[in-house]
Every structure is written in structure tokens, then in C-alpha cells.
Amino acid sequence: MTAVRAFTASAPGKIILFGEHAVVYGFPAIAVPLTAVQVTVSAEAAPSGSGIILHAADLGRTLSLTDLQPDDPLYDALAYPLQLALQTLRRPSADLYLTIRSTIPIASGLGSGAALAAALIRAVCGALDQPIADDALNPLVYEVEKRHHGTPSGIDNTTIVYARPVYFVRGQPPQTFMVARPFTLLVADSGQSSPTRVTVADVRRQYDSEPDRIGALLARIGGIAEAARQAIETGNISALGPLMDENHALLSALTVSSDLLDRLCQAARAAGAQGAKLSGGGRGGNLIALVPEDRAEAVAEALRRAGAVRVLITRVGPQP
Ligand code: PMV
């Protein structure tokens, strides 16, 4: 039996900057880690024979892995990643006490499920003295994502596992890219929740009935993601705002915006944002706005007044 050592692992949230929905059809998308929010899992030895005990510190709940049956709502989020970790390590069980803490809002498109899975698997492997490499972790977190979302493109798990800006084309190895000049984004939660699998299925229905028209919208979104990558890599931040506005209009045309998201975009722009768009599956979830640093607070306040329930300020910067 391997000795257990105390091990703490974490994973950030993520935000899609450009290319959601089109990425499902093979067009590029880009996403960045949202390091302002994190999941952290601390693993330590538990008494022999106790199995894996989970303490969700934020919820004040403690439960045993063996209590979680497949019909439990927490099964996919907690038990499934732990099973994948044990399978990878070829162990039937382990005696571990895991403390989970998260500042990532759940079910709002910030990647809470993928980050939880990544931190859990990292913590278990690390505690059992077989730290897992990102290249091995990424497919495991993708398996968990499939349980949550059906047929995800893989952009969420990739951005979260590598914790770097990612340029993603489905079926190709992810590329990270450099941020030449830092920029400030607001991430505003609309407070509306809408399952990504529903909006993805709606876009699919539209595509199946009007492939030429919808295909052209998706291709243009892919072109925007490509142009945005170039702008970020060359530090041409002023090009990003108009690209965000155009990407939002295209997502609206795909019917995945909402009245509230449109109002939040307008409010952000009126208060001085250089551009704004919904981020993720749409019809709810989050909006992102590009802001000059000295306008961040004012735009955040305007977003709250227009109905955002929470606004995070994040700086997307050159990698260390
Ligand atoms: O709901 P989110 O933020 O995880 O984003 C989903 C992004 C989509 O492109 C709509 C779907 C996908 O799997 O890429």
C-alpha cells in the first residue's frame, strides 16, 4: 500500500471569449482561465478502511464516497471523477479525507464542474504519490464533462486543466497562445440559468433545417475567434471590443441570447465598455465586457443596476 501524503490541488474557472456554439461545428474558439475563482481540494490520510470521505467545506456537509449512488445528484460531480482517479491508479479504493472548497459559482458556465473534477483527480493522485500530468488529466475531465453536458466540445476542460489561454478546434490538440498585453474583463452573471445542452440542441435543429444560413453565421463566428486570437497575440486590444459586439450579434441571430443579456450588453457599452457579449451556452449564464481598467467599477455598477446578480473583475494577462 502506498503511504498517503497530504496534498492540495486546485483548478480555476474558465470563460469563453469567442467562438461558443461554432466550436461544436469545428470552428475555432478561444477561452481563458478565470483565476479569480478556484476549486481547491486538500487530501490527507483517513483511518484505515474508511474509504474516501468528502467534506464540502462551503456546504458544511461530509459524506462518504460509498454513500453516493448513481441516482444521487452529486454522483456525477463527485463520485465519478473519484472513480476515474482510482481506475487510473489501478486501485480499488483508498483511505482519504478530502476537503473541498470552491469560489466558482455553480451552473453558470464558469466551469465549476470541470474545475471540481480536475482538482479532485489531481488531489487523489498526488496524495497517493502518483501526481497526474495535465495531458493525462484532460481526457478524464472530458469524460466527466460528457456526464454533465452530453456532447461538449472539450474547450472547458482543456482551458481549466492547462490553466492557460486556449485556442481550440474540436478534434485537434489544444494550442495555448500568448497574451501580449493585459486586458480587463468584467464577468456579469445574468442570474438566469439555461442548460447548455438545450441551446446546443436548438442551434443543431436550426442548422439541420437551414444549413446554408446557419452555417454562414457559424463560419463568421469562427473567423471572429481567429481574428481575436491574432489581436490578443499582437496586443491589439482595441480590436477586441468590436469583435465582441459582432460575435454577440451573431449569437443573437442564433437565438441563444436573451432580453436580459441584450440589455446587459447595452448597459455595459453605455457605461464605457469597449465591447460586450454573452459567454457560453447563452439564454442566461454570463456576459463578458471589455473595459478600460479605470472604468471597471463604473461599468460593473451599471451592470448590477441593469440586473446582473454578480460581477467579477478579472485581468487577462501575460502568463508567468
Ligand atoms: O456553457 P458553457 O460556458 O460551458 O459553454 C458551452 C460552450 C458551447 O460552445 C455552447 C458548447 C461546447 O461544448 O463547446
The reply to whether ligand 1 has any atom less than 6 angstroms from the CB of 247 is no
Tens-place pLDDT, residues 189-230: 999 988 888 999 999 999 999 999 999 999 999 999 999 999
The reply to whether ligand 1 has any atom less than 6 angstroms from the CB of 52 is no
Q: Which of 51, 285, 9, 21 is nearest to 161 (CA)?
A: 9
Q: What is the pTM of this model?
A: 0.90
The reply to whether ligand 1 has any atom less than 6 angstroms from the CB of 21 is yes
Q: Which of 49, 43, 116 is nearest to 84 (CA)?
A: 116
Q: Which of 20, 100, 106, 2 is nearest to 60 (CA)?
A: 100
Query: Which atom of ligand 1 is nearest the CA belonging to 196?
Result: 1
Tens-place pLDDT, residues 168-198: 999 898 898 999 999 999 999 999 988 888 9
User: How many Å lie between the centroid of ligand 1 and the Cα of residue 68?
Assistant: 27
Can you give the pLDDT at residue 320? 45
For residue 319, pLDDT over 90 is answered with: no
CA atoms in the 13 A half-sphere facing the CB of 47? 2
- Say how many C-beta atoms besides its own lie within 10 A of residue 1's C-beta: 8
